[in-house]
Amino acid sequence: MKVQRILLLALLLLVTLAACSPGHLGSNEIAFVRSGQLWTIDPDGANPFAIVAQGPPVVGYSWSPNHQIVAFRMLDEDFARTAAARQLNSGDASLIGDVPSTLNTVGVDGGTPIPIAFSSPSVRYSNPIWNANGTRLLYRQTGTSNPPNPDQDSWVVAQSDQPGGIAAKALPGTYAIPSFSYNTQKTIGISKAGIFTTTLAGSGQQFLTGPLPGHPLSASLERVLWQPGHQDAHMLYAVQKATNTPTVQLMLRAMNGQTTMLATCECTQFAWSPDGNSVLYTSGANYTVLTIRSKAAFSITAEEDSVPYWSPDSKFLLLDGARTLTLVQIAQRQQNVLLSSSGSDKTFPLVPTITSLLQPAANSPWAADSRHFLFLTHDRLSWQGKRLSEGIYTVALDGNGQVQGVPSIVDKGNDAQAGWSYQDANTSFLY
């Protein structure tokens, strides 16, 4: 009888596990927004599936690091009926800014979303940012107008599997978007008193530096970023070289306090490579990759205000601009314009002030294998002289970054915000 009970319990356990297993694992799914709904689709264009099809419009989403969960923003119901909501253009490559919305998580196979932050017409949220192990989400919460000082933004860390308010913790005031560590379960930010760390619960505030020269800087430079792939050994930030000048210095600081000046530039953006061995920064149309150990650097000229996306293995870089898509092979120091447009009137304006509410790119166009990426045409219909139709395409590369064959069409719908994998905020510029 005891053996039979054990067998019965084992059978019930197997049935329960089978029932809890997702119907679609989605380890390589592409996601996109269409007509306010959140969709997934296979890279070959098969199995399109609206994982969020009901309710107010979806205006943004973020893949989790394990590619099994999606965090998304859905407009507040009252705000969705306003003229301001109707003017939102999700077709832009740039992100939709902070708006009244609700924040939710849902599995890649759909189901009932978990609301991690409830909506109100008078409360705005940014896109949520995942930590590296996918257990926490960081988001900005403001009223209907921007605070006069950036350190008055409210930053909240919530558990990705808990309904709103149950496990949400406010962080201390920071000029910068807080950065998640990789191994120490901490966040890092900047205030008037300097760079500080806290726990994910916002407690244990510890200052690592005194006040930083020139801070607060413009919003796109107001950052302190943990180094990927190196056990949280270093952090990257900018300081103003001299008062009333656009020149800044990019600083590398070790946890033991040792500080190294990496570059002096009139740069407007900077970020890590995914392996943490290089830094990317930009000044106008110049994009520079600096290797930390050797201090070797090389620059390329590409379309100004292009959105850079590192391949997960740090070997390649996509520069996604309003009129062009450029692929950079890091080892060869080569660039290749893959996609272009003859139009001249489309721009991605970016003139950030100190109080601009910017955010990192939400998702990566790269597949996890670093040998495939996707792109949205966005009126750029000339692929190396060959005419394309509007839609989402995928591209295959060899190990040297050479394009294999022609782009493959995934979907021809009126799609926006296509993303293939998780985007680490420490490797992204701000928009």
Structural domain contains residue 14: no
The token duo for 163 is 């309904």
Domain range for 178 is 26-427
Instruction: Provide DSSP, 173-223.
Output: P-SSPPEE-SSS-EEEEEETTEEEEEETTS-S-EE-SSPPTT-S--TTT--
* Mean pLDDT, residues 219-240: 95
Provide the CB-side half-sphere exposure for 52 (13 A, CA): 31
Amino acid letter, residue 196? F
Is 64 in contact with 114 (CB distance < 8 Å)? no
Does residue 212 contact residue 190 with C-beta atoms inside 8 Å? yes
Contact by Cβ (8 Å): 176, 191: no
Number of Cβ within a 10 Å radius of residue 346: 14
- Evaluate whether residue 111 is within a structural domain: yes
Q: Does the structure show a pLDDT above 90 at 355?
A: no
Is residue 248 one of the residues assigned to a domain? yes
**Amino acid (one-letter) located at 47:** N
Give the pTM. Answer: 0.90
Query: What's the CA gap between 348 and 93, in Å, rounded?
Result: 8
What's the confidence (pLDDT) of residue 4?
37
Domain count, the chain: 1
Q: Is position 156 within any domain?
A: yes
CATH number at residue 361: 2.130.10.10
393 lies in a domain?
yes
Say what percent of the chain tops pLDDT 70: 90
How much is the pLDDT for 352? 59
Tell me the residue length of the chain.
431
Tell which residue, 189, 223, 224, 219, has the closest CA to residue 207.
189
Distance CA 276, CA 298 (A): 17
Q: CB-based burial of residue 19 (10 Å sphere; 0-12 exposed, 13-18 middle, 19+ buried)?
A: exposed
User: How do residues 126-136 score in pLDDT, each as one tens digit?
Assistant: 999 999 999 99
Q: Is residue 355 part of a domain?
A: yes
Instruction: Give mean pLDDT, residues 201-229.
Output: 95
Tell me: the pLDDT tens digits for 306-349?
A: 999 999 999 999 999 999 999 999 999 999 999 999 765 555 44
d(CA 413, CA 419): 15
104 within domain boundaries: yes
Tens digit of each residue's pLDDT (9 = 90 or more) over 157-214: 999 999 987 889 999 999 999 999 999 999 999 999 999 999 999 999 999 999 999 9
Asked whether residue 202 is assigned to any structural domain, the reply reads yes
What's the pLDDT tens digit per position in 68-105? 999 999 999 999 999 989 888 644 445 799 999 999 99
CA geometry: angle at 27 spanning 23 and 28, to 5°?
Answer: 120
- Nearest 5°: the CA angle 75, 79, 84 is 100
What does residue 17 show for φ and ψ, rounded to 5 degrees? -65, -40
Residue 266 has a pLDDT of: 94
